[in-house]
């Protein structure tokens, strides 16, 4: 189930990044008292009570042209209206209501039916609290006073946000349907690849606004196996702003990842690997999804008999955290090797859902310990009492031990390698958790 998305919009230097950091509980955004300092495209996950949701800090969207600041925040607002479930419009009590605030408020009021929460930052003392009343003139309801610097009012803001979330829709697919998401940065050929897999040229609409949950899911069947391609909103949108705004393409990828079984991480064979490819792949890995690295546009690459091996070696070097993911070289344009892709998807989906009997699992762990003894620290040696698989998608194994702190990450990696040698687990992350038996009971 995809998590709701909250976008923070507002003119520069109202404290969007400070509030963003408070909401997600980490210092991710660069905070400095200078307009336009948030250059990184920032997205994070926040939790309030039992609700988890994505937060996007829209600072750093740069638009060339006259009156750049106004145009920039207008772009932020338009992107937020398309992508977010809830919009937080951030203003500044020190500055009062500005012309830019009025323009954005009018745009939000006129153009979207998404819930809008008006937040007034820098209400650092009682006198400033009186300054919030002028913000009623924006016509967006009751302003919520905040102080990002002192952490005041964050709980009220979070409470207001979660109350506005849409009702969750139940997933409508049977367990035997394999849900596929094609993820990757703009211009790697995701749309062409979808069309090539489906074997039909679909209309790619350019001017439909809507959240990711408005995206088109396309069910199809191949060789007796049922699939669904989760077509993210990003695949339907075009235009310079969408193509150049990394944070929104990543956010759409994250939402598609949450709903899928298998993530196809699409790379551009002509351009090679860039940093954003690794960021997007990292989300699939952290979400515990099965993955296939798909190198598209392979027809356009000048090749000799070692080109594929060189590219594979580079992928293994750059994506070391994903050494389990198979690599497929394809061309959406010429259909080269495309027939091999779905069998790989089916295979990794099966591996992702694989369950190992407890007795067999413990035999492998015992053999691994016999070959390479458990680590010791200050005279105390790690003892693995027994292991059991507690979940699939991804396969998750709990190791009951005398002291979890004695389980060094290098030994965890060694056990993972032994388990992969015994049971494959190709294309899927594998989670090993060390626990005391008493902690579970």
Task: Please tell me whether 308 is known to bind a ligand.
Answer: no
Contacts of 79 (CB under 8 A, 6+ apart): 7, 58, 61, 241, 242, 245, 248
Q: Taking a C-beta distance cutoff of 8 angstroms, is the pair 77, 107 a contact? A: yes
Check pLDDT > 60 for residue 205. Answer: no
Quick: pLDDT tens for 88-115. 999 999 999 998 888 888 888 888 889 9
| Most confident listed range (189-193, 223-227, 291-295, 304-308) | 291-295
Residue 252 pLDDT level (bands cut at 50, 70, 90) = low
Check pLDDT > 50 for residue 222. Answer: yes
Task: Please tell me whether 36 is known to bind a ligand.
Answer: no
How do 42-48 and 51-57 pair as beta strands?
antiparallel
Task: Please tell me whether 272 is known to bind a ligand.
Answer: no
Per DSSP, the residues of 340-371 read GHHHHHHHHHHHHT----HHHHHHHHHHHHHH
Q: Taking a C-beta distance cutoff of 8 angstroms, is the pair 389, 355 a contact? A: yes
Residue 125 pLDDT level (bands cut at 50, 70, 90) = confident
Task: Please tell me whether 58 is known to bind a ligand.
Answer: yes
Q: What is residue 153's predicted lDDT score, i.e. its pLDDT?
A: 93
Q: Taking a C-beta distance cutoff of 8 angstroms, is the pair 79, 87 a contact? A: no
How many CB atoms are closer than 10 A to CB 82?
A: 21
Task: Please tell me whether 224 is known to bind a ligand.
Answer: no
Q: Mean pLDDT of all residues in the chain?
A: 83
Q: What is residue 214's predicted lDDT score, i.e. its pLDDT?
A: 41
Task: Please tell me whether 235 is known to bind a ligand.
Answer: yes
Domains along the chain with CATH numbers: 5-163 (3.40.50.300), 178-352 (3.40.50.300), 358-440 (3.30.300.20)
Name the strands in the sheet holding 116-121, side by side, starting at the edge strand that comes first in the sequence.
42-48, 51-57, 5-9, 86-92, 116-121, 144-145
Task: Please tell me whether 57 is known to bind a ligand.
Answer: yes
Quick one: what percent of the chain has pLDDT higher than 90?
A: 51
Quick: pLDDT tens for 162-182. 999 988 766 678 889 999 999
Check pLDDT > 80 for residue 251. Answer: no
Q: What is residue 201's predicted lDDT score, i.e. its pLDDT?
A: 55
Task: Please tell me whether 12 is known to bind a ligand.
Answer: yes
Task: Please tell me whether 4 is known to bind a ligand.
Answer: no
Check pLDDT > 60 for residue 240. Answer: no
Task: Please tell me whether 16 is known to bind a ligand.
Answer: yes
| Most confident listed range (192-196, 228-232, 409-413) | 409-413
Query: What's CA 414's distance to the chain center, in Å?
Result: 28
Task: Please tell me whether 29 is known to bind a ligand.
Answer: no
Q: Which two tokens stand for residue 62?
A: 């740069």
Task: Please tell me whether 210 is known to bind a ligand.
Answer: no
Angstrom distance (rounded) from CA 358 to CA 310: 40
Task: Please tell me whether 9 is known to bind a ligand.
Answer: no
Task: Please tell me whether 358 is known to bind a ligand.
Answer: no
Which is nearest to 418 in space by CA: 397, 401, 403? Answer: 397
Which is nearest to 350 in space by CA: 223, 173, 226, 176? Answer: 176
Task: Please tell me whether 186 is known to bind a ligand.
Answer: yes
- Residue reference for tokens 């929460």: 117
Task: Please tell me whether 211 is known to bind a ligand.
Answer: no
Task: Please tell me whether 10 is known to bind a ligand.
Answer: yes
> Can you give the pTM of this predicted structure?
0.72
Q: Taking a C-beta distance cutoff of 8 angstroms, is the pair 191, 235 a contact? A: yes
Task: Please tell me whether 266 is known to bind a ligand.
Answer: no
Kind and range of the H or E run holding 87: strand 86-92
Angstrom distance (rounded) from CA 279 to CA 107: 32
């Amino acid at each position: 189930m995809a998590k709701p998305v909250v976008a923070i919009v507002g003119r520069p230097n109202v404290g969007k990044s400070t509030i963003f950091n408070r909401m997600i509980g980490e210092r991710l955004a660069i905070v400095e008292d200078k307009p336009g300092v948030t250059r990184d495209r920032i997205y994070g996950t926040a939790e309030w009570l039992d609700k988890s949701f994505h937060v996007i800090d829209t600072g750093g969207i740069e638009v060339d042209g006259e009156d750049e600041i106004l145009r920039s925040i207008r772009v932020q607002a338009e992107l937020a209206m398309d992508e977010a479930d809830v919009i937080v419009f951030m203003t500044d009590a020190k500055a009062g209501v500005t012309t830019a605030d009025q323009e954005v408020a009018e745009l939000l009021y006129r153009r979207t039916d998404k819930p809008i929460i008006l937040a007034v930052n820098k209400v650092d003392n009682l006198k400033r609290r009186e300054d919030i009343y002028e913000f009623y003139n924006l016509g967006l309801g009751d302003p919520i006073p905040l102080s990002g610097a002192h952490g005041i009012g964050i709980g009220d803001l979070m409470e207001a946000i979660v109350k506005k979330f849409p009702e969750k829709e139940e997933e409508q697919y049977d367990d035997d349907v394999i849900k596929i998401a094609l993820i990757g940065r703009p211009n790697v050929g995701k749309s062409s690849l979808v069309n090539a897999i489906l074997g039909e040229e679909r209309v790619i609409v350019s001017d439909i606004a809507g959240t990711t949950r408005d995206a088109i899911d396309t069910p199809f069947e191949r060789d007796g196996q049922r699939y669904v391609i989760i077509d993210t909103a990003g695949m339907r949108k075009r235009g310079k702003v969408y193509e150049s705004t990394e944070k929104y393409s990543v956010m759409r990828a994250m939402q598609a990842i949450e709903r899928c079984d298998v993530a196809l991480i699409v790379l551009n064979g002509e351009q090679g690997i860039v940093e954003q490819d690794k960021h997007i792949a990292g989300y699939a890995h952290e979400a515990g999804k099965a993955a296939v690295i798909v190198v598209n546009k392979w027809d356009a690459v000048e090749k000799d008999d070692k080109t594929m091996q060189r590219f594979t070696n580079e992928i293994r070097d750059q994506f070391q955290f994903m050494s389990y993911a198979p690599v497929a070289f394809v061309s959406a344009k010429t259909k080269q090797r495309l027939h091999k892709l779905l069998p790989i998807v089916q295979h990794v989906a099966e591996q992702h859902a694989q369950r190992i009997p407890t007795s067999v699992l413990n035999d492998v762990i015992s053999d691994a310990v016999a070959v390479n003894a458990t680590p010791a620290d200050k005279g105390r040696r790690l003892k693995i009492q027994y292991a059991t698989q507690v979940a699939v998608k991804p396969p998750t194994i709990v190791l009951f031990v005398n002291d979890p702190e004695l389980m060094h990450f290098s030994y965890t990696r060694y056990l993972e390698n032994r388990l992969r040698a015994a049971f494959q687990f190709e294309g899927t992350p594998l989670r090993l958790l060390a626990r005391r038996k008493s902690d579970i009971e």
